[in-house]
Amino acid sequence: MICEGSINCLALAYLADNISDSQRASAFGILSGVSSGAFVCGTLAARFLSTGSTFQVATFVSMLAVVYMRMFLEESIPDQVDGISQPILQEGEDVIQKDGNAPRKMPVFRKIPSVGDIISLLKSSPSFSQAAVVAFFNSLAEGGMISSLMYYLKARFHFNKNQFADLMLIAGIISTISQLFLMPLLVSPLGDGKLLSIGLLVSCANAILYSIAWSDWVPYAATALSIVMVFAPPSLRSIASKQAGAREQGKAQGCISGISSLANIIAPLIFSPLTALFLSEDAPFHFPGFSIMCIAITLMIAFVQSLMIGSAPSTSRDKNSSNCVEV
């Protein structure tokens, strides 16, 4: 529970340190595609392994990942990364000047961002604050789907665990192919801002299809929309990354992850009781998929907010241009 969220945002921060602004959306998409591929492989492996063996294999693979990281991944050098934007927080905040002497390093625990640092980070860049709002509503909808969809499909169409597994595998395979091959081709002509909006709009259409599903084949058809829905998270991460400085990628990605986690905590408290109410005999009106329709409305709010972000250009380009003129 402690490591799951931090591993993802640290991997994104490491990738941002080593990839230029123009290639970040594609790189984040490929990383998400690899993760989706790993999810598919893990799901398939779990169906053929016993419960005890599954945990043993998972532990071994985790240890193998640590060994691979220590052997092949070099520490990133933010000062030499090309195309990094102006920092959101002050560069000198991790040193202490005392009595006119040379600055000394601040203690490690003093470097941990405070609530004030996070608020400053959100206020300093309009694009970053808008991306944070999109992340909240998108994660609120995602958490609502996770907590409500299986309950809804079981009550509505009597889905069993095998059918749920099939839906997960189909979505995982489609997501892997789309993020590895399709998204890198679309980033250059469209940009991460448009890909974010397209992904959120199709996610909204997906939720609407689920809410009005009239047959058990409709959820399978709706799952095919994952080929476009998966554009949203990598594009959002790319936009947030371009607003952060070289030494602040971890802070920026961690902030987005924290906001997403908060939304995932709130979502079940809202959508699970709502789903139960409209699937019961005490529903105010007959609409079994009303909670899923509310999720679609949440995604529409995220979509409208994403239109305000635009392409979210990095401020580093202006800085680099001025430096070239001075030279």
Q: Mind listing the pLDDT tens digit for each residue in 94-145?
A: 433 344 444 444 454 456 666 666 777 777 778 888 999 999 999 999 999 9
Q: Within a domain: residue 63?
A: yes
Contacts of 132 (CB under 8 A, 6+ apart): 122, 240, 255, 256, 259
Structural domain of 263:
4-73+115-309
Q: What is the pLDDT of residue 127?
A: 85
Q: How confident is the model at residue 305 (pLDDT cuts 50, 70, 90)?
A: very high
Calculate the alpha carbon distances from 180 to 176, 220, 324 in Å.
6, 22, 35
Closest CA to 248 of 111, 74, 95, 107: 111
Expressed in percent and rounded to 5, the helix, strand and coil fractions of the chain are 75, 0, 20
Q: What is the DSSP letter of 84?
A: -
Residue 324 has pLDDT above 50, yes or no: no
Residues 24 and 193: beta-carbon distance below 8 Å: no
Q: Within a domain: residue 214?
A: yes
Q: Within a domain: residue 248?
A: yes
Q: Within a domain: residue 225?
A: yes
Distance CA 191, CA 125 (A): 19
For the stretch 233-270, pLDDT in tens is 999 999 988 887 777 788 888 888 889 989 999 999 99
Q: What is the pLDDT of residue 295?
A: 96
3-state secondary structure 88-128: CCCHHHHEECCCCCCCEECCHHHHCCCHHHHHHHHHHCHHH
Q: Within a domain: residue 123?
A: yes
Q: Within a domain: residue 108?
A: no
Q: Within a domain: residue 321?
A: no
Burial call 244-275: b when 16+ CB within 10 Å, e when fewer? bbbbbbbbbbbbbbebbeebbeebeebbbebb
Q: How confident is the model at residue 76 (pLDDT cuts 50, 70, 90)?
A: confident
CATH number at residue 181: 1.20.1250.20
When divided into structural domains, the chain yields a total of 1
pTM as predicted: 0.77
Residue 67 has pLDDT above 70, yes or no: yes
CA 116 to chain centre: 24
Closest CA to 132 of 27, 241, 260, 300: 260
Q: Residues 34, 40, 45, CA angle at the centre, nearest 5°?
A: 125
Closest CA to 230 of 16, 42, 31, 17: 31
Lowest mean pLDDT among 137-151, 159-173, 264-278: 159-173
Q: Within a domain: residue 215?
A: yes
Residues 111 and 94: beta-carbon distance below 8 Å: yes
